[in-house]
Structure 1
Amino acid sequence: MKNLFIIFAAVLTIFTSKATDNERFNKAMGETLVQFGQAKDITTYQEVANKFERIASSESAEWLPNYYAGLTYTVMAIQQKSGSEIDKYLDKADSFIEKLAQQKVSNLDEVEVLKAQIAMMRISVDGQARYMKFGSAFEAAIAKAKSINPENPRAYALKAQMIFYTPEQFGGGAKNACPEIQKALGKFANFKATSPIYPNWGQEQIKEMAKACN
């Protein structure tokens, strides 16, 4: 009986420790995501990216910190005007894709969506010169994301965005993007994040694009 009590106490301690660690992780992620949502300049975004990276270093089994660090660098890239600066931040985003691959979570649909986001932004630097290389990478990532999770609205939103900003003579433009926009809106309407810190972005952007379909 004494031995049984000792075993039970040890198990309880382990579970309590894990619960505490999980609460600490969720708290750190939640606070950093709030800062992410409030950031408005490169300096603040860099602070956010650094915080996500620190969380990733201390929580090596968790994929979300590396994912959000990569996502933060794509947002920083959007704010740049020169191609070289855009590429610089996208290179940083790609470094977190590599870290996610090392964590063996590269089969997650959200990671594939992030890959597509990076590829699309690479194309934006020089569409004519880069479409052959990064266009195929974008399509592959979107297709894989949809195959893993057909209900992920961000996969449809990015596809719609790619079509929307492609010149009409190449099959793009608002008219051609509208069917994909409507799909994305439908997916967003039914999407429920599995936790408060799970990816839940893209709906406002697609709503803005949808105005061109009316």
Structure 2
Amino acid sequence: MQKLILLVIILVSGFTAAQTNYEKGMQKAFALWQDNKMDDAENMFERISKAETKEWLPHYYIAQINSIKSWNIKDEAVLRAQLEKAQEHINSAMAITSNNPEILVMQAQVLTNWVAFDGMTYGMKYSGKITELYNKAEKIAPKNPRVVFCNSDWAMNSAKYFGQDTKPYCDALEKSIELFATFKPESSLHPTWGKERAKQVVKGCED
């Protein structure tokens, strides 16, 4: 009996240590990112993704970093390399967890990078897919603030483009800010971004 208890303790301790190493690595990557060392953070997430093959979050953050870096890029070759890398890691994340609203939002963000780069070429190709992704995410997680914010922001920009009334989307954006105030992520490693950006967009509604 004592041997069995000892074995359980060893197994649990080993599991805890493995989790702790993962968490330490992720926190280190976040710290690098916060210090504006995005490439170093990305490299750290890549190392973690190779070591922790059942974790989707490292892939998610690699995709997010490449999406962020792609805004305002004018060189299509650079943009393509970054967004293809983002897509590769989104695919890896989706293979680990299905119907995940956070990943659906990130997929929509990456496709939006293409539309922002060249609306004439990629708007027709991806606009419907982006709307579909956000609507699917909102059906799964209607109280996730990133889902509500990104869906509303995309819909509002589409309405602006077509000269339509944007007020209904402003109301939804305000709702997302309320959701940010009460939303509890699954862990300290899960996504929390979006609140400040949502506030900026809502302020634009008021101007």
Normalization by structure 2: what TM-score? 0.90
Report the equivalent of 2:58: 65
Report the equivalent of 2:105: 113
Report the equivalent of 1:139: 131
Report the equivalent of 1:187: 179
CA-atom RMSD, angstroms? 1.9
Displacement over 3 Å in runs of 4+: 163-167, 171-177
Report the equivalent of 1:153: 145
Indicate how the Cα distance of structure 1 residues 101 and 24 shifts in structure 2: closer, same or farther if over 3 A, else same: same
Report the equivalent of 1:55: 48
CA displacement at 1:172 relative to structure 2: 5.7
- Of 7, 18, 21, the residue aligned with 1:21 is 18
Q: Partner amino acid for 1:133?
A: K
Contact 2:141 2:147 in 1 (8 A): no
Q: Distance in 2 between matches of 1:109 and 1:188?
A: 15
Report the equivalent of 1:126: 118
Report the equivalent of 1:85: 78
CA displacement at 1:49 relative to structure 2: 1.1
- Of 30, 34, 37, the residue aligned with 1:37 is 34
Indicate how the Cα distance of structure 1 residues 53 and 175 shifts in structure 2: closer, same or farther if over 3 A, else same: same
Q: Which runs of 5+ in 2 are unaligned?
A: none
- The alignment partner of 1:193 has SS state of coil
Contact 1:166 1:173 in 2 (8 A): no
CA displacement at 1:61 relative to structure 2: 1.3
- Range that drifts further, 54-63 or 77-86: 77-86
Q: Distance in 2 between matches of 1:169 and 1:28?
A: 42
Normalization by structure 1: what TM-score? 0.88
Contact 1:106 1:112 in 2 (8 A): no
Q: How many residues align?
A: 206
CA displacement at 1:112 relative to structure 2: 0.7
Q: Give per-residue Cα distances to partners, 1:76-128, cap 9 Å, x unaligned.
A: 1125233443232111100101111332x132111111111111111111223
Q: Partner amino acid for 2:141?
A: N
- Of 135, 148, 170, the residue aligned with 2:162 is 170
Q: Which runs of 5+ in 1 are unaligned?
A: none
Q: Distance in 1 between matches of 2:35 and 2:159?
A: 33
Q: Give per-residue Cα distances to partners, 1:109-155, cap 9 Å, x unaligned.
A: 11111111111111111223322221122112112211221111111
Contact 1:163 1:171 in 2 (8 A): no
CA displacement at 1:173 relative to structure 2: 7.6
1:5 aligns with 2:26: no
